[in-house]
Structure 1
Amino acid sequence: MISVLGAGVAGLCAATALAERGLPVEIVEAVTPPVSRLAGGMLAPFCEGESAPEVIVTRGRSAIEWWRVRAQSFVQRGTLVVAAPRDAGELDRFARATRGHARIDPGDLEPELSGRFAVGLHFAEEAHLDPCEALAALRGGLASRGVAFRDRPSGRIVDCRGMAARDRLRDLRAVRGEMLELLAPDVTLTRTIRLLHPRFPCYIVPRGHGRFMVGATMVESARDGAVTARALMELLSAAWTVHPGFGEAEVLATGAGLRPAFPDNIPALRHEDGRIHLNGMYRHGFLMAPVLACDLANKLSEDMTHAH
């Protein structure tokens, strides 16, 4: 039996990949809800290439197809990157740092942005999903395969506990992220919008039925707790810059959580202290968890084949 510790995106992807290979697996859930429920749910490997190493771009692309067949909320309409006229230099910088995009008139893709931004970058291959629905879909798929959810491990451990694994991964650090969810029935946007800004870039992800997720701050801090007033003001200001209809939106929820990150900010599989760790998701959880989960399944399948 393989015991997967943690039921966030890393743990559920790991358990799914193992179960789909026919390996015996169980999930040991944490008491606290997973921080991945607060994620943007963007499958945006090319945009991440602005600051992430090439491995995130090249390997992350496979996550798009992985989620397409597993999450009903999956939408592939690309990512639209825009900047206010005064920040046009940011758009040029972003274009130079990334690939997989075309320069377009934002109004051609999103009519409600017509006249608000002169030019944008469209990353047509990228997609997005609703994290809560996607996590629930993975749980449902595991339950249908007879995978048990328990409160203690009984087999070989695959540790996907995120920040809780600091007791074993000493170089794991916390990166605080803050987000909010808005209900804006007067706003019609169909794809992820990234607004570039020198100080607080943000993204807006449509969740359907007039709901939008706005995020996310990236703060090198282990301070947990509620969303700060500063983050709330910056995110709301950015949303209003994209579409004035957000000024009349209802704030449905706010959230803050601590993302686990290794020193190089690259998610990884590690073998330490007699267990396998799948951790360090940083801001790439939904993008890289399926990739590492498949690596894990390949390795454990090979191990069990050799054992027999």
Structure 2
Amino acid sequence: MHIGIAGAGLLGRLLAWTLAHHGHRVSVFDPAPGPQPLFDGQGAAGFTAAGMLSPLAELETAEADIAARGWVSIACWAGITSALAERGHAVPFARRGSLMVAHGADLGAARRVLAHLASKPLRDEGGNPSGHQAPSPQVLDSALLRSLEPSLHGANGPLHAWLLPGEAHIDTVRALQALHDDAPGVAWHWDQPVHTVEAHTLGLANGQARRADLAIDVRGIGARPALPVRGVRGETVWLHAPGLGLQRPVRLLHPRHRVYIVPRRGDTVLVGASEIESEDRSPVSLRSAVELMAAAHSVMPALAEARILRMDRNLRPALPDHRPRIDMAPGLLRINGLYRHGWLLAPSLVDDALTQLKLGRLPTHALPGIAAAMP
């Protein structure tokens, strides 16, 4: 088939990569000047994301079927990164679990979060029990925490900590670049914004109409007014911290902050958590930067000597119910509303849509300890 895709963010690249490897002829249109990240708040939100794949942790605020999709996506990312590596495109992906930590004064609030996680059985999109049991957080004493992450300890006393087994993280920048570079035959049309997407047709901003057997709309907030999508601002700080040696994503459970610290290659860590109901794309505010870095320093004192590489921001596409949405009609596919769960949900949504359309499947690896075949 000839398939036209509006949007070259995470969903667009994942769709183009999968469809190309199943023999389809793919054209992708995007307003960005090229495939590389600019970190200016204007490009694909996937470049800004930290890449935490945390279905269990997200149960704090998300529905149980979101977590079920997340476990499927982790198995897909294992298969995708393996397939990319076989063709010379290495993408750092690790499944060592993640950590939740809390200061002693915040133990009550942390226990309420953990009780909430335990109260949500996994369910499919129809609200039915999935038949699978999510792993439970494992309490870590000080010695176990020190053996897993020596640099993780409270600045003013010991931390309470829990290991969330089975969770993972991925290098988002490397993954987006690899999906672009390993998509054989895909025609990438940069500086080509799409204004309308209808059945079999992409309407470009320059007035041209591009016909295709299937038109796919994955433009995020650019899909307005066809979808009631809005932008939710997120901010991250990139730090260079030689010798830190962090192996797993860390979430700080705090009454006011849900700060996360995610390791990247080259002694780099990302610190983030801000979620602001605003479509402002201006640089990171002083308040956000101070709060994020102070909270991270409180559980990882070695960050005091880290160097700030960049502060990034972008807009996550969210629908009114904060849930993802797949719309299908003859000659038309729309996927949107990934909100704060983009990397956690994208493979599951893409695989679901392409399976229904009989256009292909994502590679997947069955992972021990996780029901990789969850609905």
Q: What is the TM-score normalised by the length of structure 2?
A: 0.76
Would the alpha carbon gap of residues 158 and 122 (structure 1) be closer, same or farther in structure 2, given more than 3 Å must change? same
Corresponding residue SS for 1:45: coil
- Does the 8 A contact of 2:99 with 2:163 survive in 1? yes
Partner in structure 1 of residue 16 of structure 2: 15
Residue of 117, 120, 124 corresponding to 1:98: 117
Map 1:130-279 to 2 at 5 A. 130-142=171-183, 145-150=184-189, 151=192, 153-155=210-212, 156-169=214-227, 171-271=228-328, 275-279=332-336
Corresponding residue SS for 2:56: helix
Deviates more, 1:61-70 or 1:148-157: 148-157
Distance in 2 separating the partners of 1:43 and 1:209? 20
Partner in structure 2 of residue 108 of structure 1: 147
- Does the 8 A contact of 2:231 with 2:318 survive in 1? yes
Partner in structure 1 of residue 98 of structure 2: 79
Distance in 2 separating the partners of 1:125 and 1:209? 24
Distance in 1 separating the partners of 2:115 and 2:219? 36
Would the alpha carbon gap of residues 178 and 127 (structure 1) be closer, same or farther in structure 2, given more than 3 Å must change? same
- Does the 8 A contact of 1:41 with 1:128 survive in 2? yes
Shift in Å, 1:79: 0.6
Shift in Å, 1:52: 0.2
Root-mean-square deviation (CA), in Å? 2.0
- Does the 8 A contact of 1:82 with 1:117 survive in 2? no
Q: What is the TM-score normalised by the length of structure 1?
A: 0.91
Residue of 337, 355, 362 corresponding to 1:280: 337
Map 1:289-304 to 2 at 5 A. 289-301=346-358
- Does the 8 A contact of 1:41 with 1:129 survive in 2? yes
Corresponding residue SS for 2:278: coil
Structure 1 gap ranges (5+): 304-308
Q: Deviations over 1:207-263 (max 9, x none)?
A: 022100001201111222111111001111011111111111110011111111011
Corresponding residue SS for 1:188: coil
- Does the 8 A contact of 1:7 with 1:27 survive in 2? yes
Partner in structure 2 of residue 29 of structure 1: 30
Corresponding residue SS for 1:194: strand
Distance in 2 separating the partners of 1:107 and 1:91? 20
Distance in 2 separating the partners of 1:22 and 1:248? 50
Partner in structure 1 of residue 363 of structure 2: none
Q: Deviations over 1:121-154 (max 9, x none)?
A: 1111000011100101111221xx2122124644
Query: Aligned residue pairs: how many?
Result: 300
Partner in structure 2 of residue 65 of structure 1: 75
Would the alpha carbon gap of residues 273 and 236 (structure 1) be closer, same or farther in structure 2, given more than 3 Å must change? farther
- Does the 8 A contact of 1:226 with 1:255 survive in 2? yes
1:40 and 2:50 equivalent? yes
- Does the 8 A contact of 1:17 with 1:294 survive in 2? no
Would the alpha carbon gap of residues 50 and 181 (structure 1) be closer, same or farther in structure 2, given more than 3 Å must change? same
Structure 2 gap ranges (5+): 33-41, 82-90, 119-134, 193-203, 205-209, 361-375
Shift in Å, 1:274: 6.7
Distance in 2 separating the partners of 1:13 and 1:292? 10
State, as a whole percentage, how many aligned pairs show the same letter.
37
Corresponding residue SS for 1:39: coil
Corresponding residue SS for 1:217: strand
- Does the 8 A contact of 1:21 with 1:297 survive in 2? no
Would the alpha carbon gap of residues 118 and 245 (structure 1) be closer, same or farther in structure 2, given more than 3 Å must change? closer
- Does the 8 A contact of 1:73 with 1:129 survive in 2? yes
Corresponding residue SS for 2:92: coil
Partner in structure 1 of residue 130 of structure 2: none
1:5 and 2:44 equivalent? no
Residue of 52, 55, 63 corresponding to 2:65: 55
Distance in 2 separating the partners of 1:302 and 1:20? 11
Partner in structure 2 of residue 121 of structure 1: 162
Question: 2:226 is matched by which residue type in structure 1?
Answer: R
Distance in 2 separating the partners of 1:163 and 1:273? 23
Would the alpha carbon gap of residues 217 and 296 (structure 1) be closer, same or farther in structure 2, given more than 3 Å must change? same
